[in-house]
Structure 1
Amino acid sequence: MASSHPLDPVSADEFLAARDVLEKAGLLSPSTRFAYMGLDEPPKQDVLEDDVVDRRVRAFLIDVATGELADVVVSVSRGDLIRHRALDPKADGQVPILDEDFARVDEIVRSDPQWQQAVVRRGITDLATVRVCPLTAGWYGHPGEEGRRIVRVLAFVQESATDLAWAHPIDGLAAYVDLIEGRVYQLIDEADLPVPPESGVYQGPERTGLRPIEITQPDGPSFRLDGHLLEWQNWSLRIGFDAREGLSLHQISVDGRPVIYRASIPEMVVPYGDPGPARYFQTYFDNGEYLIGKFANSLELGCDCLGEIAYLDAVVADDHGRPRTIRNAICLHEEDFGILWKHTDIFNGSSQTRRQRRLVISFFTTVGNYDYGYYWYLYLDGTIEFEVKLTGVIWTSSYPGKDYPYATEVAPGLGAPAHQHLFSARLDMMVDGLTNAVEEVDLHGQPIGPGNPYGNALIRTSTRLTTEDGRLADADRGRVWRILNPQQSNRLGQPVAYVLHPQPAPLLLAAEGSTLFQRAGFATRHLWVTQYDAAERYPAGDFVNQHPGGDGLPRYVEAAEDVDGTDIVVWHTFGPTHFPRPEDWPVMPVERCGFTLKPAGFFDRNPTLDVPAPAHCHHAG
């Protein structure tokens, strides 16, 4: 029953075994639901020392009749309960949204007479065409909301089975629902804005002239997959998957040398910028509030992935703690990526070209209107890259009038509010060992002077980060962060290192005094460096839904522990600020964001001199 490696994802049998332990412990009643269930990973040192025999599962429980919450840990190896902690919703916030909440909220809202009247008053006579959209409530300190488990509800009209509901928002109307009491406790009905009439259907006549592109590997792929262990060229790593984080990578090494112990994107926050009474609350922590891994797509060959593909299924738990398999959730394949290196020498006449190739590890998830593709790339030259591909349907509103500052008109009478997508990467670094440090590297031009008479001098300055803290990117200085091992040197006597190249972009734009600023504190810095702590997994804290704020990275760094030559974790915030365009409607072309980790003195010279010339190159050999 137990998985073969301590970092393997929880198997279907292990989910059932954990549920059985909780049932025998008397913790499951007919009204108990599992808001989250996943691997309680063992401490890093235990895994590295091969001293792990205990597989543990962590679960967040909620009694949907009483609202009681619990955080539990079970040993599936020993079959016993390790921890049971009751949660206080006023201090701890709420557990994530359940799958069944969506259907339940639909029933609650539709049966509310005031909501029905408000919809009919807007000219919508057939309530069966209304699509109810329950949204996480955030935390604003409103009287009467403390300790309640709530969602705030917006609605759309879907005029036919093929119509796009997002084209017809019912604006100015929001229902606040208490999930435990099962009722609408407040209705915001602030404006009778017209429902935009134009259809959003985007299927139509197809263009012609696009001829097929076929990607073939007649001899099969160059990678080898053994369970969750993946090997490709000089790379080795383990693949993980979790309902909250989705895809994670573990024990990444190149040439037998460790680089990263664990890499994942454990949180994103999507704050919208329309302050209207029916929209101010639109801020979503898609990992901590909804669990993006639960919504992973089943990927299809020729649609989502091209070439010689290998797939991995993912197993998540449903609301009752029973396993559900997502077929083909993770896609593995190789891609040609253009020129790796090339030179035509003017002295010896040689002409050499090598082509770059990368290994792609990816999954796609759909959270409401947006679709997110998470892509990890490994390159032949030791580079690691991460990219998010954002697509799907932009959130919509009624467009109230010309030059409305908080939204773009994307179709007649249809608005799309401005918003941000801010992701947090957790990179548990292990560059050639556990003793790592971070240097902040800036570029500078130098003034004309005795040592620089022509003003062309260019230098770098490095600032060592010694204690836990958060830092800002600086595009004007070309700022990067060098993650080095002070105890390991290359042949030139330099410490081996990898450099984090950020994509400088605006951080959280919410006002500093706002509750959102307190809840999404991780998104106020581009970089955080913390000393490794097995309990510090999530940048906004363990419990995000309706949490009052102050948890996560800002709290983790309060102790200002030593990070100079210790076991460290690097966290990176990145993502776009999106003022939608008409071209983003009715379905958005992919928007990309991410970061790159490049070796810098990790190798003694170019590590790809052994890459063979392309087989079809006229100069091959």
Structure 2
Amino acid sequence: MTATPTRSAVTAPLTAHPLSLLTAEEVSTNREVVDAAGLLGPDTRFVYVGLLEAPKAELLAHADGDPFRRSVASILVDRASGTATSVVVDVTAGAVESTREIDALAEGQGPILDEEFEDIEQILLASEEWIAAMERRGIDPAMVRAVPLSAGNFGDPAEEGRRMCRVLAFLQLDEADLPWAHPIDGVCAYVDLTERTVFAVADNAMMDVPMERGEWNAEPHGAPTRTDLKPIEITQPEGPSFTVTDNLIEWANWRFRFTFDVREGLVLHQLGWKDEAAPGGVRPIVNRASIPEMVVPYGDPAPSRYWINYFDQGEYVFGRYTNSLELGCDCLGEITYIDAVIADERGEPRTLTNAICLHEEDYGVLWKHTDLFNGMAETRRQRRLVISFFLTIGNYDYGFYWYLYLDGTIELEAKATGIVFTSAYTGPDGFATEMAPGLGAPFHQHLFSARLDMAVDGHTNAVDEVDAVRVPVSDLNPHGNAFRQQHTRLRTELEARRQADNLASRTWLVTNPERSNRLGQPVGYALHPEGQPTLLADPSSVIARRGAFGTHHLWVSAHDDSHRWPAGEIVNQSPGTDGLERYVEQDRDIDGADIVLWHTFGLTHFPRPEDWPVMPVDYTGFKLKPVGFFDRNPALDVPAGTTPHCRGRK
């Protein structure tokens, strides 16, 4: 339903720009307006609060000094009933714009609250069935650490419409012990989060609990901390090369804004290359870039584990677990830290201190040549601007790093580390790696979805799939050595559901048919995928429906302001009827249109013993590289090095 706008006497102070970071005053105003509208009760909690960006057309038309309004979107969960409500508040006017009750059967449940997770162990201790399951194993229930996880939606009538989670158990021997080393496998509790009761215990197998401690530091493993690594100091005596004004960043030829959304994480806006000849002095490349969803599907079909598929953003709102970064640990050099404001579950502002790290770093050789004929002997060094954040969600830690390079390259790198989710090891024919005696780590994937609202020299873009192909032996190619690029235009949304192909060196080239470089070629940027596996679950599986975005490396959709979430707006216990498959079902024309690229990338993780007890960082991501966007190498203006160790420099 849509509410009649409700006005409050409270309004938030105006920010500098429609895309400025969400402020504490706006979060407070949002809560006060929602309360004044009668939407808060004693059991109401805020599970999501974020800036609802103005429509794209308004943002593109905005000029400095123009008036603008700001809106905040919230999802409320009533703990007493389980009901979730979507609310939009105009914090500039102090008015409720709309309210909508979320249909639990048709859409799913609101995201999971921390407060609900905090109750789980006490709920289990009140369950006779759970206590009996632990006693059958000779385990003191008080020593059990409960790990509540999103339940998914498997069409079970007993679960229909029920706000719930599933709970696995781990033994903790003492306060210093890592419980991940001691999974109590073969048993799973089903918890009703509204009734706060265990409504079923699936006790399928009695398995030995691995008992070797999971020590994260070196000494217990006979390897004292090494002392032969000398310090590395990174300094910029004249300070950094970038400037930050409000949330506008300028560095080298790059110019962009950034925001932080508690569900979506770090978002880049209006990313462009400075050029005095361009309108406004900037050539646009990407209007908006973010990673709005990820899913971690597990490949263990055991009765107590088949359902494990985390959507860390849609189900858990993972940005609230963002780490406060520290110099010398997460970032090195001349660092600028930026706080982010989110809301706690009571709707009050909470500041994430040092949530975002901004710095520049050397990245080796940019270009180099020593010429045989003219005596040229030149080297230029590459550097990149880095804007990043890191978070911890359960056992895993994720870092998201956007890199901008001097040659016009854009890169996103996701880093996965932390502790692998463990199980009992059932043997080499199972679906896990043995990490320690009797300890398994199930096979799984980490699949991310990037949403790239492209704007290559404007908002009329087209996409070609570009493959390297052999040329058959013929009169044209008598020696069989020829190969060339094959361009295939993707003309409609359904046609643009594509898979990567590393054997063909496949890329996807986004061009502007209305803009050409000095050679008469359409200006463009190419998406370079890593080409790792997409979703490995069977196409008939529940996760292939709920996480359909993960079934293709590339999707292309006509731009729509409301199409923001690749697995749908509501993900927790969703039936899988929203998201990218619905966005493209109209099969709209995308050839010379305002388009959005959705790119699936990620890791397929067959854990190694070396990933235990703490996993070294694994990396995944993608690159966007200019193809004819510039008339020549855009990094010709980079100066030669001036440090003493560069030859000929003093």
TM-score (norm 1): 0.98
- Is the Cα–Cα contact under 8 Å of residues 517 and 628 in structure 2 kept in the other structure? yes
- Is the Cα–Cα contact under 8 Å of residues 107 and 577 in structure 2 kept in the other structure? no
- The one of 416, 432, 440 equivalent to 1:390 is 416
- Segments of structure 1 that go 5 or more residues without pairing to the other structure are none
Distance in 1 of aligned mates of 2:339 and 2:302? 42
Give the corresponding residue for 1:261: 287
Q: State the SS of the aligned residue for 1:488.
A: strand
- CA shift, 1:619, in A, is 3.5
Give the corresponding residue for 1:555: 582
- CA shift, 1:405, in A, is 2.6
Distance in 2 of aligned mates of 1:110 and 1:485? 62
Structure 1 residue identity aligned to 2:157: P
Are 2:475 and 1:450 equivalent residues in the alignment? yes
- CA shift, 1:615, in A, is 0.8
Structure 1 residue identity aligned to 2:474: G
- CA shift, 1:620, in A, is 4.6
Give the corresponding residue for 1:44: 56
Structure 1 residue identity aligned to 2:139: I
Superposed counterparts of 1:361-440, under 5 Å:
361-400=387-426, 402-440=427-465
Give the corresponding residue for 1:129: 143
Give the corresponding residue for 1:295: 321
Distance in 2 of aligned mates of 1:110 and 1:300? 38
Distance in 1 of aligned mates of 2:322 and 2:30? 23
**What are the superposed Cα offsets for residues 467-508 of structure 1, whole Å, 9 maximum, x if unpaired?**
113111111111100011110110001111000000101111
- Is the Cα–Cα contact under 8 Å of residues 535 and 550 in structure 2 kept in the other structure? yes
Distance in 2 of aligned mates of 1:42 and 1:10? 13
Give the corresponding residue for 1:189: 203
- The one of 322, 328, 337 equivalent to 2:363 is 337
Give the corresponding residue for 1:618: 647
Are 2:255 and 1:236 equivalent residues in the alignment? yes
- CA shift, 1:95, in A, is 0.8
Are 2:41 and 1:29 equivalent residues in the alignment? yes
Distance in 2 of aligned mates of 1:274 and 1:521? 19
**What are the superposed Cα offsets for residues 140-188 of structure 1, whole Å, 9 maximum, x if unpaired?**
0012111110000001111121111100011111000001111000001
- Is the Cα–Cα contact under 8 Å of residues 241 and 314 in structure 1 kept in the other structure? yes
Give the corresponding residue for 1:326: 352
- Is the Cα–Cα contact under 8 Å of residues 202 and 586 in structure 1 kept in the other structure? yes
Give the corresponding residue for 2:519: 492
Structure 1 residue identity aligned to 2:429: Y
Give the corresponding residue for 2:491: 466
- Is the Cα–Cα contact under 8 Å of residues 42 and 52 in structure 1 kept in the other structure? no
- Is the Cα–Cα contact under 8 Å of residues 466 and 562 in structure 1 kept in the other structure? yes
Give the corresponding residue for 1:175: 189
Give the corresponding residue for 1:314: 340
- Is the Cα–Cα contact under 8 Å of residues 2 and 14 in structure 1 kept in the other structure? no
- Where does structure 1 differ by over 6 angstroms across 4 or more consecutive aligned residues? none
Give the corresponding residue for 1:567: 594
- Is the Cα–Cα contact under 8 Å of residues 6 and 52 in structure 1 kept in the other structure? no
**What are the superposed Cα offsets for residues 277-312 of structure 1, whole Å, 9 maximum, x if unpaired?**
111111000010001110000000011110000000
Give the corresponding residue for 2:24: 12
Distance in 2 of aligned mates of 1:135 and 1:240? 29
Q: State the SS of the aligned residue for 1:288.
A: coil
- CA shift, 1:129, in A, is 2.0
**What are the superposed Cα offsets for residues 511-561 of structure 1, whole Å, 9 maximum, x if unpaired?**
111111110110011001001100000000000000011310011000111
Q: State the SS of the aligned residue for 1:594.
A: strand
- CA shift, 1:52, in A, is 6.1
Structure 2 residue identity aligned to 1:267: E
Give the corresponding residue for 1:109: 124
Give the corresponding residue for 1:545: 572
Are 2:616 and 1:589 equivalent residues in the alignment? yes
Distance in 2 of aligned mates of 1:604 and 1:578? 41
- Is the Cα–Cα contact under 8 Å of residues 399 and 409 in structure 1 kept in the other structure? yes
Structure 1 residue identity aligned to 2:76: L
Distance in 1 of aligned mates of 2:259 and 2:465? 31
**What are the superposed Cα offsets for residues 239-284 of structure 1, whole Å, 9 maximum, x if unpaired?**
1101101111111011221111110000001000101111111100
Structure 2 residue identity aligned to 1:358: R
- CA shift, 1:195, in A, is 0.8
Give the corresponding residue for 2:10: none
- The one of 75, 80, 95 equivalent to 2:110 is 95
Distance in 2 of aligned mates of 1:169 and 1:186? 20
Q: Over aligned residues, Cα RMSD in angstroms?
A: 1.0
- Is the Cα–Cα contact under 8 Å of residues 438 and 484 in structure 1 kept in the other structure? yes
**What are the superposed Cα offsets for residues 178-211 of structure 1, whole Å, 9 maximum, x if unpaired?**
0111100000111111110001011132012111
**What are the superposed Cα offsets for residues 85-139 of structure 1, whole Å, 9 maximum, x if unpaired?**
11110001011111101111221112211111211221223x3321111100001
Give the corresponding residue for 2:236: 217
Distance in 1 of aligned mates of 2:22 and 2:489? 39
- Is the Cα–Cα contact under 8 Å of residues 32 and 61 in structure 1 kept in the other structure? yes
- Is the Cα–Cα contact under 8 Å of residues 352 and 619 in structure 1 kept in the other structure? no
Distance in 2 of aligned mates of 1:558 and 1:109? 44
Are 2:178 and 1:164 equivalent residues in the alignment? yes
- Segments of structure 2 that go 5 or more residues without pairing to the other structure are 1-12, 275-281
Aligned CA distance change for structure 1 residues 179 and 52 (closer, same or farther; 3 Å): farther
Are 2:77 and 1:68 equivalent residues in the alignment? no
Distance in 2 of aligned mates of 1:233 and 1:194? 59
- CA shift, 1:618, in A, is 1.1
Superposed counterparts of 1:342-361, under 5 Å:
342-361=368-387
Q: Percent identity?
A: 58
Distance in 2 of aligned mates of 1:302 and 1:67? 44
Q: State the SS of the aligned residue for 1:18.
A: helix
Q: State the SS of the aligned residue for 1:90.
A: coil
Are 2:216 and 1:202 equivalent residues in the alignment? yes
Superposed counterparts of 1:71-86, under 5 Å:
71-86=86-101
- CA shift, 1:68, in A, is 1.7
Give the corresponding residue for 1:278: 304
Structure 1 residue identity aligned to 2:344: D
- Is the Cα–Cα contact under 8 Å of residues 613 and 620 in structure 1 kept in the other structure? no
Give the corresponding residue for 2:625: 598
Give the corresponding residue for 2:529: 502
- CA shift, 1:62, in A, is 1.3
Give the corresponding residue for 2:8: none
Q: State the SS of the aligned residue for 2:585.
A: helix
Distance in 1 of aligned mates of 2:430 and 2:135? 29
TM-score (norm 2): 0.94
